[in-house]
Structure formats: C-alpha cells, structure tokens
C-alpha cells in the first residue's frame, strides 16, 4: 500500500507539472491604465466561458488589476470612459457603456463605438487574440503577451484616432469614432446581405483609414490575415493609452 501511495503521489505531481507547463491552467490578464484619466474596463465572457472575478471595475490612472482566466476561456475586454457611478455603483458611461446601469456589466457587451480586445485561450495549445476596431474606436489599447511560446506579437492601436476622426463618424464632442457600419448602416460597410463573404466585402475608405493608423488591428469584418495573433501558454497585459509598443 505504501508503494502504491508513493507512485500515485508521483503520478499526480507529474500531471500537475504537465498541466502547468502546457498552460492548461489558463492565463492571467493584467489591465494597466496609462491614460490621464480613469478608465472603467468591461469584461464579457463568451457563451460557455466562466465569469471572471469581475465584469466591470474602476481603474484609476497609473494603476493595474489582474484576473485569472481558466483554460479554454474566450471573451472580450474594453475600456469605458466618461463614467459617473454613485456610491452604490449605479451610473453610466459616455463611451463603451454596457447598458447595465451599474459598474459591473453583468453579461452585457459594449455599446459601439469601442476599441475591443478579443481572446480565445487554447486548451494546452495556441491562444488566439486580436484588437478590433470593427465596432469603432474610443481609446488607444495594446495587448502584450509574456512567458509564452510562439510568435506572441503585441497588437493594438496606440494612435488617438479621435483626433483625426472624419466628421461623419465623430461621436459628440469627439470622445469616440464610429465605424462606417454604425454610421451608415449599409450592407457594403457592414459586410451583410450580398456583402457577407470575404470575396464581396472589401475594405472601405474608412476601414483603410483605421488600418493605416493601426496596421495590426482589425479594421473590418474580414481583416483576418494581418490582425489575428497566436501564442501558447502566455499571460497577457492589456494597456489603455500606452505611450508606445514595447
């Protein structure tokens, strides 16, 4: 019995080490705010993925906060700006608002326009991630991986697109920049109807403007080739208003 117990313990230890080395324990996401103002990140887990420790929180300038996501997790992150929440956590935001009426988004996504970071964590294999401007833009954001294997390239948009946003896409006083789909609603901009395939939906003058400024970000629905990145077994940092890519 003693020998069996010993072998069983070694077996369990080896499995634990294998799990750690292949990344099946998931990934740590760290949010960093380098903006000159407070950002309220929102978190939306995809269907079938576990809820993280928060779905929305306050992140003052020059602070950070980390969350552990389990293996296989998928979802998206974004930053809300111009928020006003009372002592009970009730309120709303000027950009990226999730419509929950509270600081927690509770399963609701961002109202466009909003810069989005999207992730799918592999189950012992590759993670897939991107930064998307398909739903418009509200603030600079960059994603960086650490401790992983593979290309693990940083991606995102470090440019303030609100400064050069065309008048027809500008929101309010310039706090965000809409996508052409949201602004005009036509199928050729939304990649819908007769334009719902990669062959028929082509970049527009507006998506090309986004792509020129932020070449590693998704600029329209079928902008996959230069906008999706992979890494295995990494932890990720999502930085709002980065000074420059590291």
d(C-alpha 59, C-alpha 123), whole Å: 30
pLDDT tens digit at each of 246 positions of the chain: 444 444 433 333 333 333 333 334 689 999 999 999 999 999 999 999 999 999 999 999 999 999 999 999 999 999 999 999 999 999 999 999 999 999 999 999 999 999 999 999 987 689 999 999 999 999 999 999 999 998 899 999 999 999 999 999 999 889 999 999 999 999 999 999 999 999 999 999 999 999 999 999 999 999 888 899 999 999 999 999 997 444
pLDDT digits (tens, 9 = 90+) for 46-103: 999 999 999 999 999 999 999 999 999 999 999 999 999 999 999 999 999 999 999 9
Query: In this structure, what is the dihedral angle of CA atoms 52, 65, 75, 187, given to the nearest 10 degrees?
Result: 140
Q: Decide: helix, strand or coil at residue 205.
A: helix
d(C-alpha 219, C-alpha 158), whole Å: 14
d(C-alpha 175, C-alpha 239), whole Å: 19
Structure tokens at 52: 């993280």
Taken in order 188, 184, 134, 110, the sign of the CA dihedral is negative
Find, among 211, 240, 234, 214, the residue nearest to 29 by Cα: 234
| pLDDT value of residue 178 | 97
| pLDDT value of residue 124 | 66
In contact, 231 and 148? CB cutoff 8 Å: yes
Q: Is 2.60.110.10 the CATH classification of the domain at 25-240?
A: yes
Q: Where are the domains of the chain?
A: 25-240
């Amino acid at each position: 019995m003693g020998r069996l117990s010993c072998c069983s313990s070694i077996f369990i230890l080896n499995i634990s080490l294998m799990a750690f080395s292949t990344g099946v324990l998931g990934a740590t996401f760290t949010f960093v705010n380098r903006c000159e103002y407070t950002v309220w990140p929102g978190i939306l887990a995809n269907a079938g993925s576990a809820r993280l420790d928060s779905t929305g929180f306050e992140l003052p300038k020059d602070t950070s906060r980390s969350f552990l996501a389990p293996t296989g997790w998928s979802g998206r992150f974004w930053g809300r700006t111009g928020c006003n929440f009372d002592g009970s956590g009730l309120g709303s935001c000027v950009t990226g608002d999730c419509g929950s009426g509270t600081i927690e988004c509770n399963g609701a996504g961002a109202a466009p326009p909003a810069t989005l970071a999207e992730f799918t964590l592999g189950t012992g294999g590759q993670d897939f991630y991107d930064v998307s401007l398909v739903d418009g833009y509200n603030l600079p954001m960059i994603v960086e991986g650490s401790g992983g294997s593979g290309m693990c390239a940083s991606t995102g948009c470090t440019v303030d697109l609100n400064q050069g946003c065309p008048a027809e896409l500008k929101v309010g006083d310039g706090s965000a920049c809409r996508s052409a789909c949201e602004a005009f609603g036509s199928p050729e901009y939304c990649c819908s109807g007769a334009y719902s395939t990669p062959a028929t939906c082509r970049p527009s003058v507006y998506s090309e403007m986004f792509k020129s400024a932020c070449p590693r970000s998704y600029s329209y629905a079928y902008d996959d080739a230069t906008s999706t990145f992979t890494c295995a077994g990494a932890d990720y940092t999502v930085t709002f208003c980065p000074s420059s890519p590291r």
